[in-house]
């Protein structure tokens, strides 16, 4: 008795589903891009590709031993606050701390700067200087 062969079922193409997903993603990003507000055509953006990566001149530097420096000279906390720029909210200090400064010493200096009249202390990090 001969065995009858079962009819083969046509296999579906798995790439069709992938193409559909990619197409739907394309449509989504086209719509999302159209909904985003565009810049004014008359505005020219500032180029920063040749900008020097250095700290502003009134930035206090905290060394590993806890000494404060401003423009390369050792200063007291009061002198650093006096040299800081007065903004609309008071005196803002930018502080660059050495990576090796212990956290408790850093927080102690920040507290001293605040007690000497700084309304806010901005800690400048490596990424901020890039």
Q: How many CA atoms lie within 13 A of 125 on its CB side?
A: 1
Exposed (0-12), middle (13-18) or buried (19+): which is 61, by Cβ within 10 Å?
buried
| pLDDT tens profile 6-29 | 767 666 667 888 899 999 999 998
Q: Answer yes or no: pTM beyond 0.85.
A: no
Higher pLDDT, 117 or 10: 117
pLDDT at residue 69 tops 80: yes
- Rounded to an integer, what distance in angstroms lies between the CA atom of residue 66 and that of residue 50? 33
């Amino acid at each position: 008795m001969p065995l009858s062969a079962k009819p083969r079922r046509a296999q579906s193409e798995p790439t069709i589903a992938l193409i559909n997903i990619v197409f739907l993603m394309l449509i989504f990003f086209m719509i999302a891009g159209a909904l985003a507000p565009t810049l004014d055509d008359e505005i020219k953006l500032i180029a920063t590709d040749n900008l020097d990566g250095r700290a502003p001149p009134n930035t206090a530097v905290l060394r590993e031993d806890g000494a404060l420096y401003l423009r390369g000279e050792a200063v007291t906390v009061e002198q650093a606050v006096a040299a800081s720029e007065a903004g609309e909210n008071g005196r803002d200090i930018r502080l660059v701390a050495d990576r090796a400064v212990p956290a408790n010493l850093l927080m102690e200096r920040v507290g001293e700067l605040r007690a000497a009249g700084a309304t806010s202390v901005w800690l400048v990090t490596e990424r901020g200087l890039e």
